[in-house]
Structure 1
Amino acid sequence: MKILVIATQLPPYIGSGNIRALNYINYLSRLGHQIDVVGVQYPKDAVAYDQNLENAFDDDVNVYRINPGFLYRFFYRKKDDNLDNYNSNSASINSTIKGKISVFIKNTIVIPDAFMLWIYPAYKFAKKLMKNRDYDIIFSIHETPSSHLVAYLLKRKFNNIRWVGYWSDPWNGDSLRNNRTVLKKYIEEKIENKIVRKIDKLLFTTEKTKNLYINKYGLNESKASIVFRGYDKKIYIDSMRKSKESLEGLQKNKLNILHLGTIYHTLRDISPLCAALDLLKREDIKLYNLLNIIFIGQFDNYEDQRKLQKHSNVKVFPLVPYEQALQYTAKADVLLLYGNKKSTQVPGKVYEYLGSSAIILTLLGDPQDELKNIMENVEKGPVILNNEKEIYLELKKLSEAYLNNNLNKNWMKPVDKYEWENVVKDLEMKLIN
């Protein structure tokens, strides 16, 4: 098949969603499909720009990058915008002038997202491709919604070509988008309704999101399916050959606990972990000192970072390149996995975690957290609610088991089901049917 992919979030930007799209594309190409991609020309001074991922796509994949427009400069963090440089009286990055401007624009002006001015130029370029090549499928990938708008315009022009859209999060049900103005929300709801009516197939990451769309838009269930994310087994094998000492922060003779990615204040509450560490320090200083907890990534609320850094056994590092992040994942003893509060979604990093030989300590955002269904069906570690008492008890159990060389070996096996090759074969069938 010839497939035209439309996506705003791709490498060389770092992020679980970007890596997911990369692997969907590369593995579809390896299955024999001809893939063209219309994406974004990212600014190289962005903190999320990873030079090592500039050649991440397979040679057979054609990637065309379109400038995102001048508005985008308000929305990305530059490499020198380090939270550690902010005054201690600053509650968060949003206290800066640029932060306030970007939040205002994001919540009131741009529709649907920061790539608003990319939509029409991307459509014009994709339209030229469509006229010269006989595509079988248009495949638009959210993150972010702008990709669906480009595909919608293409579908109106080339109605006979099958259009499949992927929703990584609910566009109008995403808790991170709750601060939109009433008018912006109303307009985006109208746009999404048109998209859903026009599209041939919708793909989602969870049953909750799929059911939300079926019920909200009265969809036929055959029009919606679930697809998964995955991990690259070869990369993990290569990463295991790296020395633990070469990774900053990891320590010998300590229980190394790692969290990768962004801590969104509204979704992931770190206060119970801080309280559990306070309690462990009072009750058993030996076990407290045995823990070496590392957070690699970003905080959208600076106060959360400050709370964690008050603990002597917690280290916070900025984003690292993707390959290095996987090395940390492969070398950690325990991976810390936060679920999302009041959300239909699961963190994309869960699938990378499932490829590791590390134990996973899962902290559910609430009792209905969709992550519970995944983690209770794989044997990778404790699955608990994100509260002080349960975290304290699990940290104590894990520390004692580590001291006695008695960590559960069954929790240290990768989950083969989520290797990328298996995941994308499933995706291939759902693109066709």
Structure 2
Amino acid sequence: MRILVFSFEFLPSDAPQALRVARLMRELVACGHDVDVIAGAGPASAVTYEVIDGVKVHRVNPGGVDGLVVWMKRARSGQGANGPTAAPVPMRSGLNWKGKCIQSIRKMMDVFLFPDARTLWINAAIRSARVLVADRGMPDLLIGSHEPAVGAMAAMRLAQETGVALVSELGDPILATYTPRRWQQRALRLERDVCERSAAVVLTSEATARLFDVRHGVASKLHVIPQGFDPPPFVDSDARKGDNVLRLVYTGRLYPFRNPMPLLRAVAGIPGCELVLAAPELPDDVEEFLSAGGTGCTWLGSVPHAEAVRLQAGADLVVSIGNAGMTQIPGKVLEYMGSGRPILHVRPDEGDAAAVLIKTERCGYVVDAEVSQISSLLVDLVARKRNGTLEEGLVVGFSAFEKYSWRSLGQQLSAVCERVHSE
């Protein structure tokens, strides 16, 4: 089956959705499908076309200030449409003055454009799709990806224009707790339109599926395909047991709806406990706390995904911080399940779906986001590390969670696509 995908984010972007879409599309190719992805060009890649894991990726200028940055990068590189893959961009822990200026302009544009400034990419993406269709013929199926919503919006427009069946790989709600108030009604309408016009809607959790059924009454269209993982690299377990220090590792982003402060304060008060944070940027309160010193915490800044996976595999415990007030399960939780290490999950509220999953799968420890409770658990975990019982009573190891591997999840998405195509 020929499948045309709209996803603003795609590798080598470090956005979580870029990894999800890239892995799922890789597995669709492994299932025998022919997959083209129309993505947004970004500073991490100056080329307009490349093949990644068998997926044909067509990068389209995102427009606006980001489009200007991409245009300048391409002009400096002197690359044509089929030039070699750009070298990876070095990871940095912060923005220089140019980056801060661009970020400020982008935020101003976000005030006036729905859902944000990336909507300027849609028209160019549609034009690119029309050229592709003229060259290769009509695809058998369209897939629209969210986050950001512009991928789903572009796919929906082309589906209306061509009559090709649409699968919307939303993952999470378009209307979420972090949606700006000015856009909440429009986000809800867009979410409803996507559900009505799609033959199938893919979400990452059962809790989100229940929310969509309440909002839109489309239970028959909903399919839950969570985040996933690839098998981790080999790590010598004896090296991990070499001392009595309990090593915690957090790899991911610290969004406003994830509060790490209770954990940081608890770690700072427990001898023999260390926390490594591999996060692109730190909230102001976290940065101030770490700057004070004596916290038992180390910040590495942004690291490549492969390095993040190696850090996870070498940890005693991998740390997850739940999304407050949301139905989503952070993708890192599923990645952690494949890391071969127990999870320490900080639960922000009783509605946290990730906590339910971790308890159900018995793959880690769940604690409420209270300093006293976290401290008490850490004291116990330090003792468990020293007497070799840290994993006792838990299910640990990626082979135990094969159903959450990208291979298995890609096969599920392939089945959804084939069912839609056959109807």
Greater CA deviation, 194-203 or 60-69? 194-203
Q: Which residue of 2 aligns with 1:185?
A: 184
**CA distance in 1 between partners of 2:313 and 2:365 (Å):** 18
Whether the 8 Å CA contact 1:17–1:348 is kept in 2: the answer is no
Q: Which residue of 2 aligns with 1:135?
A: 139
1:277 aligns with 2:263: no
* Paired residue total: 394
Q: Which residue of 1 aligns with 2:21?
A: 21
1:302 aligns with 2:275: no
Whether the 8 Å CA contact 1:272–1:388 is kept in 2: the answer is yes
1:244 Cα deviation (Å)? 7.2
Secondary structure of 1:383 counterpart = strand
- Which AA in structure 1 matches 2:215? K
Whether the 8 Å CA contact 2:155–2:166 is kept in 1: the answer is yes
Change in Cα spacing, 1:389 to 1:312, as seen in structure 2 (3 Å) is closer
Which ranges of structure 1 fall in alignment gaps of 5 or more residues? 87-93, 282-287
1:224 aligns with 2:222: yes
- Which AA in structure 2 matches 1:117? L
**What fraction of aligned residue pairs are identical, expressed as a percent?**
23
Whether the 8 Å CA contact 2:145–2:152 is kept in 1: the answer is yes
Secondary structure of 2:226 counterpart = coil
Deviations 1:132-158 (A, max 9, x none): 324221011111100011111111111
- TM-score (structure 1 length as normaliser): 0.82
Which ranges of structure 2 fall in alignment gaps of 5 or more residues? 71-88
Deviations 1:245-303 (A, max 9, x none): 9xxxx9965221000011113x112222233235xx3xxxxxx3311210001345222
- Which AA in structure 2 matches 1:228? P
Change in Cα spacing, 1:69 to 1:331, as seen in structure 2 (3 Å) is same
Deviations 1:75-129 (A, max 9, x none): 99x979744989xxxxxxx9x66655543432x2121223211100101111232
Q: Which residue of 1 aligns with 2:79?
A: none
Q: Which residue of 2 aligns with 1:396?
A: 379
Q: How does 1:220-369 map to 2 (within 5 A)?
A: 221-233=219-231, 236=232, 238-240=233-235, 253-265=244-256, 267-278=257-268, 281=269, 288-299=270-281, 301-309=283-291, 310-369=293-352
**CA distance in 1 between partners of 2:68 and 2:114 (Å):** 14
Q: Which residue of 2 aligns with 1:163?
A: 166
In the TM superposition, structure 1's runs of 4+ consecutive aligned residues that sit over 4 Å from their partners are: 73-76, 78-86, 96-101, 241-245, 250-253
- Which AA in structure 2 matches 1:294? V
**CA distance in 2 between partners of 1:11 and 1:27 (Å):** 15
Change in Cα spacing, 1:356 to 1:72, as seen in structure 2 (3 Å) is same
Change in Cα spacing, 1:305 to 1:117, as seen in structure 2 (3 Å) is same
Q: Which residue among 103, 110, 114 is the counterpart of 1:111?
A: 114
- Which AA in structure 2 matches 1:422? S
Q: Which residue among 172, 175, 178 is the counterpart of 1:176?
A: 178
Change in Cα spacing, 1:7 to 1:244, as seen in structure 2 (3 Å) is farther
Change in Cα spacing, 1:188 to 1:416, as seen in structure 2 (3 Å) is closer
Secondary structure of 2:362 counterpart = coil
Secondary structure of 2:129 counterpart = helix
**CA distance in 1 between partners of 2:356 and 2:69 (Å):** 34
Secondary structure of 1:71 counterpart = helix
Q: Which residue of 1 aligns with 2:61?
A: 67
**CA distance in 2 between partners of 1:243 and 1:21 (Å):** 35
**CA distance in 1 between partners of 2:51 and 2:335 (Å):** 17
Deviations 1:3-52 (A, max 9, x none): 111101111011332111111011110111111111111113xxxx799x
RMSD: 3.1
- Which AA in structure 2 matches 1:290? G
